[in-house]
Structure formats: structure tokens, C-alpha cells
Amino acid sequence: MPDYPCQRHGLSRRQALAGLGSLALTPFVTRLSGYSPQAPASPVSIGRCRSYGPELTPTLGRMLDQLGGLSKLVAGKTVAVKINLTGSPRERLGGTPSELAHYTHPAVIGSTIHLLAAAGARRIRVLEGCFVCADPLEEFMIDAGWDPSPLLNAGPNVEMENTNVLGRGKRYLRRTSPQGAYIFPGFDFNHAWVDSDVVVSIAKLKEHATVGITLGMKNMFGATPITIYGDSCGKDEPATEAKGGRGNTMHDGSQPPSKSALQELDPTTPRRGDYRMPRIVVDVCSALPVHLTIIDGISTMIGGEGPWTGPNSKIAEPGILIAGFNPVCTDAIGTAAMGYDPMATRGQPPFDVCDSFLELAEARGLGTRDPGRIEVVGTPLKDAIFAFRKYRGGGFPGGAS
């Protein structure tokens, strides 16, 4: 058995890293402050997929089969699927529909539902904390110009919920981080997250103006209800209405969450998004483990996480899907597929001006970010790389550098 899974594909570890494209990679071995040799490694599948048409479901199905299939994970289980619908449903990057830019495409969501159902999932919940509101998720989709009906019919027992609010639950349910935490020791979530057996994160392959990149792990940040963690959260108890973003409580820490929730471990830590957000992302993923990550990189935007993130933003078609059971490993390969070094630390792209949530997650033992330890199945990594920053020019997303 080779030391590193990539060697099964005839690549040395160095060759695998060299496959990260023409970026000048700085030696990663000097940046191992968070390195955890015990962090688990798990295979990641890459699939070449040029469109959201008929090739999508077979490609995704093949990728999941390459990972060992879904049945063991989801048969007879309730599955929570986190999608990424960041920002206002009426805001587009130019005239491009959101699903081709910054929203996970409904076809990917539908294919995932279909495959989960085929693998025996008993109930599938499509979930999102919809932008600054308590609207039913179906209505949020309609406002974005989608028809949610095909998704609700893509499998039996499919339901949707906006997890900003109580929804169908009677109270918020708590999950804590067994591995310890950086900022928040645990979170209170909408019931749909906590009483599901399996969590799937369907993310978009994107950069991010606060944490450098947003993939499967950062996607889970949106699971935190804004009634508790939003700018208009209740002071003592969760607000009954969902309003405002998460800038105060999460990004800059200028306001605590509702007192009913677990508070910050150390309120003296820096009140800056570049420090807090990478850590909170890890805390969320530690409290609410992700069992399957699917990254939609067929069509996406580069230069940020949404149309608001600056003049360098534009549409790109990397034409890939990425999937894996370990969120850190999957995001690490996603990072590499974007032409970045997942071993980068603060000050190095894509983490020019923020801490690396991959590094922090690895240090917390959630998974390895070392591409040399991650077996890539399907399309070779070197063939999947679409160098975001090279394609768009410029530095950190949103203009910070």
C-alpha cells in the first residue's frame, strides 16, 4: 500500500502538488502550525461535467459510487441537505441567473435528492437559512426565479425548510463541539438539523471575501439561525422574526447571540471577521458534522461569494463536480481545483488576509487538508484545475489585499 493515496494513480506526492497548476506554490512544509497528523483522510471524487443537462445525474452517481456508494450512509435515514442560496434572491451577477453564478444549481440539488432516494434515504430535507428572512424555502426559490416543484418531486418524502426560524420544530436544539471549539462551544439549530441522521452540504465552488474560499464547510455557516445569531436576534430568547444578516454576532462579534444560546468562549479575542469567521466555520462543522459534501463547480462565479463582492467578479465554467465524505478533505481538493494550495496559511492565497479554516479544521482533527494524503478518484486533480485567480486577475476577493 503506498504511503499516499495519490500514488495509486501513479503520481508522487510532489507531482500531485505540482498538479495545482502554474501558481507559484510556496513550500508547504514550513506552514504546518496547525498540522494534525491524526486528522482523518478520506477519498474525494472529481467528476468532469460540462453542463447541468442529462450528463449530470450519471456523473454524480458515478462519483458517489467511486466513493463507495451512498447506501451505507443514508439507507433508512433522514437526510438534511444544506444548499447554498446566499444573498438576495433578486440579485444577480449581471444578467446571469443565480444558479449559474453563486447559488447551488437546482439540477445538482435535484440529482442529489434523486440519488439519495435511490440509495434508500427515508426522508430528505432540503434546508437553507434564507437571506435575512423567514420565508418558506420554496417561496424563496420562487423569488429567485426557480420552480421548487421538481425538487420536491425528485424523490419520496422530500421537504424543505428555512432554518433561520423554528419552522416545524417547537424549539431550537443544541449541538456542541466534541473536539473543542475556537469561538462558540456549540450552537442552537432549527430542529431539522439536529434530528436528521445525515448532513449533506451542497456547496458552490467559489471564492469568498472574508474567508478566501467558500466550499462545503463554509456553506454550513448558513445553518445558524439568524433569530439567534443574526443582527436582529432576540436579546434573551431567540427572536420570533428573522431579520438582518449575521454581521454583528458572527463576523465582527460586536453583539452576542441570544442569551439562551451558548456564548463565546473568550470575548477578548479579536473582533474581526478574518479571525472569527474561519474559526466559527470550523466550530459549526464540528458541532454539526457533515457526512457528505458535494461541490457544484460546473458553472460558478469567481471573485467572491456573490454579486456584491467586487468588480473582478465574473462567471466561469470550471466544469467539475467534487464529492467526498470528509468535509475538510473535500474542501481541500476543491481548493486545489481552484488553483490554490490547500496547505496555504494566513498571508498566502487564498487566505491572503484571513486565517485558513482548512488549517484550523485540520488542527481540530476534523480532517486532513493535505492533498498528498487524500485519494482523488475519478478525474485526476491535475486535469480538473481551474485557476480562479489567474483567470480573473486581482488579489483577494472583494478587493482586500
Partner 1 sequence: MSTSAEWIPIEWPASWRPEQLGLLRDTPFNALAFKDPPPAGVAEAARAAGLNAPLLAWKAWKEIDWAKSDGVIAIGDGFWPAYNYKGLADGSAGPTGEPWLDANGWLYLYSRARGGGRTVWVRSEPPEDPRTVRQPHLHLLLAEAFAFGGRRPLWLPPEFAAALAAGNGKSLGDWKKLVDTARWFEQRDAWRSWPAVAPLVVLSDFSGDNEYLASETMLLAARKQIPFWPLPVAQVQAGDLTGRRAVLYLDQAPPTPNLLALLKAFAASGGLVLAGPAAAKAFADLKPVAAHPHPRFDIFTLGRGRVALARAAFDDAWTLADDAHLLMSRRYDPARLFNGGLLHTHTAASPDGKRTMVHIVNYGAEPFFNIVVLQVTRPVKSARIHLPGAAEPKSVAIGGDPARPEIVIPYFSVYLAVELEHAHA
d(CA 386, CA 317): 9
State in angstroms the smallest separation of the CB of 234 from partner 1.
15
Total chain residues near partner 1 (CB under 8 A): 20
Distance CA 46, CA 60 (A): 9
Binds partner 1 (CB under 8 A): choice among 135, 264, 283, 296:
135
| Three cell numbers, residue 173 | 436544539
User: Is 353 in contact with 209 (CB distance < 8 Å)?
Assistant: no
State which of residues 143, 231, 252, 352 lies at the interface with partner 1 (CB under 8 A): 143
Residue 147 binds partner 1 (CB under 8 A): yes
The rounded distance, in Å, linking the Cα atoms of 87 and 265 is 29
Q: Which of residues 9-48 bind partner 1 (CB under 8 A)?
A: none
Among 136, 247, 365, 395, binds partner 1 (CB under 8 A): 136
Single out the residue of 44, 74, 116, 132 in contact with partner 1 (rule: CB under 8 A). 132
Residue closer to partner 1 (CB basis): 10 or 95: 95
Residue 165 CB, shortest distance to partner 1, in Å, is 8
Contact residue for partner 1 among 53, 76, 145, 156 (CB under 8 A): 145
Amino acid at 228: I
AA letter at 12: S
Site for partner 1 in 79-118 (CB under 8 A): 90-92, 94-95, 97
139 near partner 1, judged by CB under 8 A? yes
Query: Which amino acid appears at position 201 of this protein?
Result: S
What track of x and - describes contact with partner 1 for positions 225 through 254 (by CB under 8 A)?
Answer: ---------------xx-x-----------
Q: Which amino acid would we find at residue 157?
A: N
Task: CB nearer to partner 1: give 66 or 227.
Answer: 227
Out of 167, 339, 372, 378, the residue judged to bind partner 1 by CB under 8 A: 167
**CA–CA separation, 48 and 354 (whole Å):** 31
Residues that bind partner 1 (CB under 8 A): 90-92, 94-95, 97, 132-133, 135-136, 139, 142-143, 145, 147, 167-168, 240-241, 243
